[in-house]
Amino acid sequence: MKDLKEIADKNPFKVPENYFGEINNKIISLTTGIEPEVRKKGLYRRMRPVLAIAASVAVLILLGFAAMKIFQPSGRTGQTPEISLQEFSDTYLNDIDVLTLEEDADPLAFYTKVSDVSNSEIIDYLILENIDLNDIYEIL
């Protein structure tokens, strides 16, 4: 006898492959003695699901292309215009009002991240940045 644990993990009952498709032919042949003709599926019957999927994808692509052509404005070609860097900077970057940005900026936001720095450290840094010593003393 086998353990109940071994039986519970496996299904001991199996049906042979294509059993229910061939059972009618077997019963008829055993009762009449004549073998029924078994027809194989043709190429079209086997390829029909694949052809249906391909046709539906082709229809969706054609509908999408037609919709793009119909709903696209007539004056536009759908391409983005080429502009140079100079044109971009002239039209967009020069329109930014720096004074408004400075007024809107929070002055304390810049100083909260800076730790305690002494005047001598600031002077040393400015000297390393090639700033004139007289200018440094005027500012401080």
Is residue 78 included in any domain, yes or no? no
Task: Tell me if the pTM is above 0.75.
Answer: no
Range of the domain at 132: 85-139
- Indicate if 19 and 42 belong to the same structural domain: yes
Is residue 79 included in any domain, yes or no? no
- The type of residue at 40 is K
Quick check: 136 and 123 in contact, CB under 8 A? yes
The pLDDT tens digits for 92-135 are: 666 676 667 777 776 666 655 666 777 788 888 888 888 888 88
- Indicate if 19 and 65 belong to the same structural domain: yes
Helix residue spans in the chain (DSSP H): 4-9, 19-32, 43-71, 85-91, 98-104, 107-111, 119-128, 133-139
Exposure class string for 60-81: b at 16+ Cβ within 10 A, else e: eeeeeeeeeeeeeeeeeeeeee
The pLDDT tens digits for 57-105 are: 999 999 999 998 888 776 555 566 677 777 777 776 666 766 677 777 7
Q: How many domains does the chain have?
A: 2
Is residue 109 included in any domain, yes or no? yes
- Indicate if 98 and 58 belong to the same structural domain: no
Is residue 94 included in any domain, yes or no? yes
Residues 6+ away with beta carbon under 8 Å from 68: none
* Structure-token match 């930014």, residue found: 96
- Indicate if 56 and 19 belong to the same structural domain: yes
Tokens standing for residue 61:
């692509």
- DSSP for 89-122 reads HHHTGGGS-HHHHHHHS-HHHHHSSS----HHHH
- Indicate if 11 and 61 belong to the same structural domain: yes
